[in-house]
Structure 1
Amino acid sequence: MLNKELFKEQIERLLYLYPTWQIESTNPKAVRAWYDSFKNLHDMQFTKMVDKYIDTERSVPTVAGLLSHKEEYNAPLTTEEREKARESLVELLGANSILLGGDQDIE
């Protein structure tokens, strides 16, 4: 879920860079409507989306305009997820597989 403070920082950034943008940034309902449009994005995904928008667009931001610059984001695996994946690979390939750092020769 998108961090609200990061969201506010990025909206402020857009306000500075697009001075004619008519967003009601002091209206809590307006800000909430904007946040709700992006709340399911990861922090890094939202920041990169805003960066890309700023780098490529001349017109003031819209929800659709920003989302058109959204990139896929896969959160890093947790330690448990990595270990489970490694165990699956060991089971599939064998513990001595060169693909897993073992010394099994390739035939």
Structure 2
Amino acid sequence: MAQTTTSGSKAASEAKGADTDDIQKQLAVLQKDVSELTRVMTEYGRLQGEQLQAAAKGKAAELKGEAEARIADAEAQMRDAYMRAEGAVRENPGAALGIAAGVGFVIGLLTARR
């Protein structure tokens, strides 16, 4: 009977060794898989970042173009308004002088009242 116990414990020990080797192999495969997954996710993140950066640059260029167009339009409107005002002053210098005096008088009243 003593021999049966000894051979039984040897078999159990060998089975544990085989299980340990199998677990170590599985862990090595798992580590490799995690490493590959990390690499793939890093690459995916880099590509997504590049795409978002390109989209942001495109939108910024679009907005810049719109802003420049609006500035040019505003400048044209200001020039037009200035030319109309200048023409009105040249056609009616007396009225322009009276309006300027009236505006000056009102501003003087407002600033003197504090």
Confirm or deny a common fold (TM above 0.5): no
| Larger radius of gyration between Structure 1 and Structure 2 | 2
Pick 1 or 2: higher relative contact order, CA cutoff 8 A, min separation 6: 1
TM-score bucket (shorter structure)? under 0.3
